[in-house]
Amino acid sequence: MSLAVQIRQHGGPEELQLVDVTVGAPGPGEVRIRHHAIGLNFIDVYHRTGLYPLTMPATIGMEGAGVIEAVGEGVTHLQVGDRAAYASNPPGAYCEVRVMPAKCVCKLPDAISFETGAAMMLKGLTAQYLLKKTLPVQGLQPGDFVLFHAAAGGVGLIACQWARALGLQLIATAGTDAKCQLALANGAAHAINYQTEDFAARVKDITGGQGVKVVYDSVGKDTWDKSLECLRPFGLMASFGNASGPVPPFAPGSLGAKGSLYVTRQTLFTHITTRESTQAMADELFAVVASGQVQIHIAQRYPLADVQQAHRDLEARKTTGSTLLTL
């Protein structure tokens, strides 16, 4: 038996209920993992509310770290007793023990703790594919300006540090002065409080009227229109989340009038569809963390039984950095 957090219908945090579940043996291509720590992410909110619908009853959660208890037929990269971490579909991380596909589970280097592993896999792999793979047509070179919204969150603080390591001038936005200071302390070249400042006007000032090559946006509806104003000609609008709500429909012709812009909607799970791509991305992440170029900031910890409060705080934007559910 294992404790798990399930929802029986989409809704608010009150739908998250702690239950006992039976966990069996892994099938072909699967592993059974006993969690030591679980990561909290905004995609968990999307699953809970039904923005991304799930079949009921459902256990949510996409990120965790622990020890491999059993290995199914055909799994060769993991063994019983291995320390491991993952960001993976299908959801199901909010539990003590789970059976899951092995292809996105990576062996965790000894130098990286379980808590750090659980706090960084989904967020760190997201930062990796954004800064290394989701690039404007003209590419990114040291000294280039990029705009990153919600820069004091889990993905944002990793991206601030990684961008600095790549020589990029990252312009951070956040909703409080304290969050802006946090982004600056983690490598952002500039920070804008979008609650008190017109971030599009500030971006133009910072870039000498040129605009940025790429905007990385997980906020969605509230930042979309002004983000397009921040781009230089042929710039890339990279959407990867909807924290304020989905982006409404827009006329593609508007992209031409604003400078022949490019738009993409990215998701991590397209990038980690194969075992090989997942491992290659994870190896890059492990390397920058082990080198000290990127530090994982765990700012909040909640016992698994307090998961409802964790969701309330995340949605109220009371959190910074990474958040863990502890066992």
Q: What is the pLDDT of residues 52-62, one digit of tens each?
A: 999 999 999 99
Residue 86: the pLDDT is 97
Q: Which residues pair with 97 in a beta bridge?
A: 34
Split at pLDDT 50, 70, 90, the class of 317 is confident
Q: Out of 31-45, 205-219, 240-254, which region has the weakest mean confidence (pLDDT)? A: 240-254
- Mention every residue, 6+ apart, whose C-beta is less than 8 A from residue 198: 226
The 3-class secondary structure across 27-82, one letter per residue, is: CCCEEEEEEEEEEECHHHHHHHHCCCCCCCCEECCCEEEEEEEEECCCCCCCCCCC
List domains and CATH numbers for the chain.
2-123+277-326 (3.90.180.10), 135-265 (3.40.50.720)
Q: Tell which residue, 170, 162, 161, 173, has the closest CA to residue 143.
A: 170
Over residues 256-284, mean pLDDT: 95
With 0-12 / 13-18 / 19 or more C-beta atoms within 10 angstroms meaning exposed / middle / buried, residue 242 is: buried
Over residues 261-289, mean pLDDT: 95
